[in-house]
Amino acid sequence: MRHSTLLTLTSFIGLTSLVLLSTISAQTLAPIRRLPLKEPLETSKNMPPAPPRKIETSPRKVSQFGVFTSYQANVDATGNNILGDAANEPAIAVDPTDGNKMTIGWRQFDSIQSDFRQGGWGYTTDAGVHWTFPGVLEPGVFRSDPVTKSDEIGTFFYLSLLGDNFCDDLWRSTNGGQSWTEQSPSGAGHGGDAAVRAGAP
């Protein structure tokens, strides 16, 4: 008698648990929503680059956190912050043969009033204490999703998405990120940022 009662009780608890679990799961799961892909996720929306303006500056940002010090990278030629510009999606690469040499790529907005972004970059030869921001890969060309990498001999690569046609192009620097040369055929499509991160220059 005891065995059948125990079996019945165990079965009842198991079934009750399943019913409760499915009820709780149904209440907490968010409904599945499909993205409205009627327009590309990255587009210039035919927005022109920000108009030229008088460049104003302020001292660059230096942040201290314990033993770590962070220095602002998107600065003007004299190392000052450029007021009214913006940058995001940074990607940094370090030369494995000389840790003092680094390059950084980012989405460069020449004005906080404009959504038009370009492929900005900077480089350092003193492990990031001072940065040089020479400009953008191609002035007036809409770009996004920058990825930078260094190979084993210190050659830097910069992969950039051309926002209106979703093709990536690859740039190479053999002088520590001071200048870049496009390596891909015009309008070519490539494997995207995952390919560069995985090691395909």
CA atoms within 13 A on the CB side of 27: 6
Residue 86 lies in a domain: yes
Residue 112 lies in a domain: yes
Q: Strands of 84-191 (E only): list them.
A: 86-94, 102-109, 118-124, 132-136, 143-150, 156-162, 167-173, 181-182
Measuring CA to CA, how many Å separate 88 from each of 3, 71, 175, 179?
67, 15, 24, 21
Model pTM? Answer: 0.68
For residue 112, what are the domain limits? 81-198
Residue 162 lies in a domain: yes
Helix (H, G, I), strand (E, B) or coil at 8: helix
| Planar angle of CA 51, 56, 62, nearest 5 degrees | 120
Domain count across the chain: 1
Residue 52 lies in a domain: no
The pair of structure tokens assigned to 31 is: 């409904």
Residue 5 lies in a domain: no
* 167: CATH: 2.120.10.10
Percent of the chain topping pLDDT 90: 36
Residue 194 lies in a domain: yes
Helix (H) / strand (E) element for 3: namely helix 2-28
Residue 69 lies in a domain: no
- Segment 5-44, tens digit of pLDDT: 655 656 656 555 555 555 555 555 566 666 666 666 666 6
The pair of structure tokens assigned to 193 is: 């940022």
